[in-house]
Structure 1
Amino acid sequence: MIKVTIYRKSNKKVYAFELSGHAESGPAGHDLVCAAVSAVSFGSVNAVIKLCEIEPIIDQGGEGGYLYVELPEQVAIQTRERAEWLLEGMIVSLDTIERDYGQYITISEK
């Protein structure tokens, strides 16, 4: 199962997320849930990097199955807000995947 943890500050703004585990909804290379989660999360991180021109703190597992991304602290307010909105969009997409494939993915917030 893929476990998604969304990290929010006390003001409810997202500042980081973590993905761990494997969906195992199909054979390796044909796992549609894994592919969807990967596309949504990596696409969102790439959008933050390109559109906001910031480098998030990224930690990836060598064999896959783990991704941690955190927005850097020292970012202009307007840039940070854009990055937060991009991550909120990612969360909406992940929520949709969880709704349809909840046996393979779970999302929690801290």
Structure 2
Amino acid sequence: MINITIYRTESGTIQSFKISGHAFFANRGQDIVCAGASAVSVGAINAVHAITGITPEIEQGDGFLRCVIPENIPEVINEKVQLLLEGMAVSLRTIEEEYGEHIKITFKKQEVE
């Protein structure tokens, strides 16, 4: 199963997300759940960088992706970042609604803002 955790600050903005695991919906290279989650999450990271110039902290490996948005970015830029990340969250929830046996999303509040 793909497990996704989206971390929000106390004020509700997305500060980071972590994706781990494998969907096991189909064979490697044919797994639409994996492909969808990967395309949505990596696409969101790429969009954040291309549209806002912000470079998130990224860690990735086999079946693992972690993205952290830098702190103290200008509010006007952060609004764009948040819009892109909220779009990602909506897309991932849409995948979860259809393929919930293979992907699970959890939202958590950050301990410190």
TM-score bucket (shorter structure):
over 0.9
- Written as runs of structure 1 = structure 2, the 5 A alignment for 1:8-23 is 8-23=8-23
Partner of 2:84: 86
Identity %: 46
Matches of 2:28 and 2:57 in 1, distance apart?
28
Structure 2 unaligned residues grouped into runs of 5+? 109-113
Q: Quote the offset at 1:32 in angstroms.
A: 0.6
Deviations 1:35-60 (Å, cap 9, x if unpaired)? 00000001110000000101001011
Partner of 1:100: 98
Partner of 2:52: 52
TM-score normalised per structure 1 = 0.96
Q: Which amino acid aligns with 2:74?
A: A
Aligned residues: 108
TM-score normalised per structure 2 = 0.93
Moved over 6 A (4+): none
Structure 1 unaligned residues grouped into runs of 5+? none
Matches of 2:42 and 2:14 in 1, distance apart?
16
Partner of 1:66: 64
SS in 2 for 1:5: strand
Deviations 1:56-103 (Å, cap 9, x if unpaired)? 010111xx2000001101311110111011000000000000000000
